[in-house]
């Protein structure tokens, strides 16, 4: 199968700084792929390398099966949609849309026809004669997308396109972008530092850290089986609780280093004395009648939004419990807390890798 985009062993150096490390990534035609990770991990560098705005140092980049390492940006047939909308302020929406066609020598009538078609797809038909300053943030974002669409690119590249928008518009626009992707049968690569955005929009999520792909896969696979502590802590909100732990002498139980150490059974045998990190998601902890849970926790801060309750334990490490609806837990209570064993994630304390 020929992938729409393929990177094999790609490295990028800025001088001595190793910004991308051995990146292997295959993006099938029609996929919506999110690149996610903390600021500075190399997301934009990777996207700009696809676009040809950065030159990769080693490795190979293929687009639709053709080697692109040395092909200039305009010949790669990819469209970049930026965070700052980068619209021409002195041009109307229609002129913004037709500009890239006009500079390629498309005649005015044809360019206008193309603009009208794209505007109908993106819901801009009524706004073609407005200037960018006369548009809302969401509308400007749509113009930026339309300007990309009009060129029928091989793929759309998005670099945090929604980070300038307020929260409710962001939620709306992420649905709109995904719907547009589906409607166009496009291939999209979407950079974000927001794991919720990545999880909700993409069908394939690539988690990066310090220039390395830590894990990639379907959103819920990353949630269910993070390969290491970094991915486990990055995916999911509120974040997974981590508790230092040590395997007991019998090799069949674990002592958790909580405010008062607590012992839990292990379903697998581990070397006695092994140092581990136990990971439990807040939504997998349940407050149960006294004596019925595996953990005893004293309550610290309780927050209720109406939809959810966030119950944080007192002491260190703080353990967060997410309950839907309201809770009767209050500061100072000692709770019995249960979890199902298949929700217990274990990581090596030494390497951070999943066990
Ligand atoms: N032109 C450049 N020269 C030197 N270092 C750069 C350049 N561009 C980016 N970097 C560095 O590469 C790393 C990755 O940057 P970037 O890809 O922009 O991260 P992200 O988009 O994930 O926040 C950062 O440490 C950044 O400082
Ligand atoms: Mg960036």
Q: Please, what sign has the CA dihedral across residues 135, 137, 138, 144?
A: positive
Q: Tell me the C-alpha to C-alpha distance, in Å, between residue 250 and each of 277, 342, 346.
A: 18, 21, 18
Supply the DSSP string of 169-227, one letter for each residue.
Answer: HHHHHHHHHHHHHHHHT--EEEEES-HHHHHHH-SEEEEEETTEEEEEE-HHHHHHS-S
Domains belonging to the chain, first-starting first, are 5-234 (3.40.50.300), 241-348 (2.40.50.140)
Dihedral of the CA atoms 55, 50, 205, 162 (nearest 10)? 100
Return the CA Rg of the chain. 25
Check residue 30 and give its pLDDT.
96
Q: Does residue 44 have its Cβ closer than 6 Å to ligand 1?
A: yes
Check residue 42 and give its pLDDT.
98
Closest ligand 1 atom to the C-alpha of 43? 22
Residue 179 and residue 342: Cα distance in Å, rounded? 35
Residue 277 and residue 273: Cα distance in Å, rounded? 13
Q: Does residue 273 have its Cβ closer than 6 Å to ligand 1?
A: no
Closest ligand 1 atom to the C-alpha of 208? 22
Tokens coding 293: 């849970």
- Looking at the CA of 21, which ligand is closest? 1
Q: Which residue among 11, 14, 20, 47 is best mutated to probe the pocket of ligand 1, counting the most ligand atoms within 8 A of its Cβ?
A: 14
Q: Which residue among 42, 157, 210 is best mutated to probe the pocket of ligand 1, counting the most ligand atoms within 8 A of its Cβ?
A: 42
Q: Does residue 330 have its Cβ closer than 6 Å to ligand 1?
A: no
Residues β-bridged to residue 324: 308
Question: Does the bond joining 225 to the residue before it have cis omega, within 30 degrees of 0?
Answer: no
Closest ligand 1 atom to the C-alpha of 191? 21
Collapsed DSSP state (helix, strand, coil) of residue 125: helix
Nearest CA to ligand 1 atom 18: 44
CA 48 to ligand 2 centroid distance, Å: 10
Name 263's Cβ contacts closer than 8 Å, sequence gap at least 6: 248, 253, 254, 255, 256
Nearest CA to ligand 1 atom 27: 40
Q: By the 8 A CB rule, do 277 and 243 touch?
A: yes
Residue by residue, pLDDT tens for the chain (355 residues) are 779 999 999 999 999 999 999 999 999 999 999 999 999 999 999 999 999 999 999 999 999 999 999 999 989 999 988 766 689 999 999 999 999 889 889 999 999 999 999 999 889 999 999 999 999 888 898 898 899 899 889 999 999 988 878 888 889 889 989 998 998 898 999 999 999 999 999 999 999 999 999 999 999 999 999 999 999 999 999 999 999 999 999 999 999 999 889 999 998 999 999 999 999 999 999 999 999 999 999 999 999 999 999 999 998 999 999 999 999 999 999 999 999 999 999 999 999 999 9
Nearest CA to ligand 1 atom 16: 42
Residue 298 and residue 336: Cα distance in Å, rounded? 9
Residues β-bridged to residue 302: 311
Check residue 272 and give its pLDDT.
97
Q: Tell me the C-alpha to C-alpha distance, in Å, between residue 46 and each of 10, 59, 86, 335, 337.
A: 9, 13, 20, 47, 43
Q: Does residue 45 have its Cβ closer than 6 Å to ligand 1?
A: yes
Q: To which H or E segment does residue 23 belong? A: strand 17-27
Query: What are the contacts of 97-106 at 24+ separation with CB within 8 A?
Result: 97/128, 97/143, 97/146, 97/147, 97/150, 98/150, 99/147, 100/147, 100/150, 100/151, 101/150, 101/151
Closest ligand 1 atom to the C-alpha of 48? 17
CA 216 to ligand 1 centroid distance, Å: 21
pTM of structure = 0.93
Q: Which residue among 10, 11, 17 is best mutated to probe the pocket of ligand 1, counting the most ligand atoms within 8 A of its Cβ?
A: 17
Check residue 85 and give its pLDDT.
67
Closest ligand 1 atom to the C-alpha of 14? 4
- Looking at the CA of 212, which ligand is closest? 1
Residue 222 and residue 187: Cα distance in Å, rounded? 21
Q: Does residue 39 have its Cβ closer than 6 Å to ligand 1?
A: yes
Q: Does residue 19 have its Cβ closer than 6 Å to ligand 1?
A: yes
């Amino acid at each position: 199968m020929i992938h729409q985009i393929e990177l094999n062993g790609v490295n990028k150096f800025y001088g001595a700084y190793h910004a991308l490390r051995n990146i292997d990534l295959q993006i099938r035609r029609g996929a919506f792929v999110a690149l996610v990770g903390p600021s500075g991990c190399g997301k934009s560098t990777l996207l700009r390398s696809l676009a040809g705005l950065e030159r990769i140092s080693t490795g190979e980049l293929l687009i639709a099966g053709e080697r692109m390492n040395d092909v200039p940006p305009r010949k790669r047939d990819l469209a970049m949609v930026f965070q700052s909308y980068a619209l021409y302020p002195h041009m109307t929406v229609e002129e913004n849309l037709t500009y890239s066609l006009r500079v390629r020598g498309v005649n005015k009538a044809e360019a206008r026809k193309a603009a009208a078609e794209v505007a109908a797809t993106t819901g801009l038909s009524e706004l073609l004669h407005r200037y960018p300053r006369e548009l809302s943030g969401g509308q400007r974002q749509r113009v930026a997308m339309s300007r990309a669409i009009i060129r029928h690119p091989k793929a759309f590249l998005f670099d945090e396109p929604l980070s300038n928008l307020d929260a409710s518009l962001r939620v709306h626009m992420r649905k709109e972008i995904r719907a547009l992707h589906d409607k166009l049968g496009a291939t999209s690569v979407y950079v974000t530092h927001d794991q919720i955005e990545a999880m909700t929009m993409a069908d394939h999520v690539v988690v990066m850290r310090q220039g390395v792909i830590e894990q990639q896969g379907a959103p819920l696979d990353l949630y269910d089986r993070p390969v290491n502590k970094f991915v486990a802590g990055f995916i999911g909100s509120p974040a997974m609780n981590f508790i230092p732990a040590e395997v007991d002498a019998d090799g069949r139980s674990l002592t958790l280093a909580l405010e008062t150490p607590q012992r839990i059974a292990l379903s697998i045998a581990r070397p006695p004395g092994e140092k581990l990190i136990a990971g439990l998601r807040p939504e997998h902890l349940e407050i149960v009648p006294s004596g019925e849970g595996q953990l005893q926790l004293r309550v610290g801060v309780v927050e209720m939004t109406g939809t959810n309750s966030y119950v944080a334990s007192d002491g260190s490490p703080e353990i967060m419990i997410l309950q839907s609806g309201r809770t009767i837990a209050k500061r100072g209570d000692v709770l019995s807390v249960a979890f199902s064993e298949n929700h217990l994630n274990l990581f090596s304390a030494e390497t951070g890798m999943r066990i």
